[in-house]
Amino acid sequence: MKQFDVPIIYRSPLISAIKQKRRLQDKLKKDFGPTLLDFGDLKIYLARHFGFCYGVENAIEIAFRTIEENAGKRIFLLSEMIHNPQVNADLQERGVQFLMDTYGHQLIGFDELSAEDVVIIPAFGTTLEIENKLSAIGLQTEKYNTTCPFVEKVWNRAEAIGKKGYTVIVHGKPRHEETRATFSHAAASTPTVVINDLEEAKILAGYITGDLHLQDFYTSFKGRYSPGFDITKDLHQIGVVNQTTQLASDTQAIAEYLKGIVGEDRFADTRDTLCYATLDNQTAVVGLLNTPADAAIVVGGYNSSNTTHLVELCEQKLPTSFINSEEKMLSKEEILHYDFHHRQETLTRHYLPTNSPARILLTSGASCPDALVEGVIRRLAGFYGKEYMLESLITEFEA
């Protein structure tokens, strides 16, 4: 796989050594068991797959290269490059300005842009409407488009099945940048509707079977169907694509459920659009959770969809702390972590076990730099007086 030029500030000697050793030992990626970091009375089990994915590294490389190549020019990002606060802050410190927030609210008007400016398209992609606005200004965005190739793969499949007469069902969070972009691209070629979860798939099924009053569809899915959507005919043939950071198992469950409703002959197979990195990270967490442990820590941006799903998986089995940096681990006794259910940080005491050895599961989202994961490992090791062991661990994994 292509190697990207990612700034060294995001790298970690320890994590790089671990990942390289696991790659050499498991070239076919069939082993989803964790890596043990043994500090004696602290044992950290690190997920087999975690951290920056192909699409994120590609986006970061393009963004930092764009800054270097356009000294003196105004450089803008449509919205957050990825859902990681450190990376976005680093870009802003280098002079990059955000045109919109993560929900699409305008921060700087398009009328303030000129053809001399540089606008970077984030990894989530963007809508056709915004692409057209930028093009009308005279901005050449192709060179600075960091849209993840796997997101584009979803768009291409949506277009392909649309041309065959299928309506596209997008499984995604309706307000997420990627979902808005995928909806826009799909809706350009075929009727399209966004659903958030299996419960909404069941509601949609009610309109397909006629168990629900058809006209109520326009209220149930207000703002989430394409212009001119005709509920009387547009759900005859369907296919499901997803926001690539959703739980793959959820997308598959929705697809199987809806296929059972319309029948296999009226359902498009889109299973190959599931993002490999999202699937690998989620499968690695399942493997991680097979390890007896006392608690789990997940590192990543609080508005990161893929990270939140990793937290969901861990919460099903263990007390789980969701943090965006090691600084949230205030002490061995207290942690300031994110409760995504209530969308707020909360202070928790006694988050680390008192037994010996303490067994901690650790993973991170696809937009989380390895350096942050090493920071968490160092902080944990320091709490147990074992930070001095890290250098020997690096040597051990590099051997």
In the 8-state DSSP scheme, what is residue 91? H
**C-beta separation of 37 from 348 below 8 A:** no
Q: Which two tokens stand for residue 251?
A: 């997308």
| 388 phi, psi to nearest 5 deg | -60, -20
Place of tokens 């277009």: 159
- Burial of 219 (C-beta count, 10 Å sphere; 0-12/13-18/19+): exposed
* Pair of tokens at residue 218: 């326009």
Pairing relation of β-strands 167-171 and 192-195?
parallel
Radius of gyration over alpha carbons of the chain, in Å? 22
Residue 142's contacts (CB-CB under 8 Å, 6 or more residues apart) are: none
3-state SS, one letter per residue, for 207-271: HHHCCCCHHHHHHHCCCCECCCCCCCCCCCCEEEEECCCCCHHHHHHHHHHHHHHHCHHHEECCH
Is 159 annotated as catalytic? no
Q: Residue with structure tokens 């299928």?
A: 166
DSSP annotation of 107 reads: S
Confirm if 361 and 45 have CB atoms less than 8 A apart.
yes
Residue in 57, 131, 177, 178 annotated catalytic: 178
CA–CA dist 120, 39 (Å, integer): 43
Question: Annotated catalytic sites, by residue?
Answer: 178
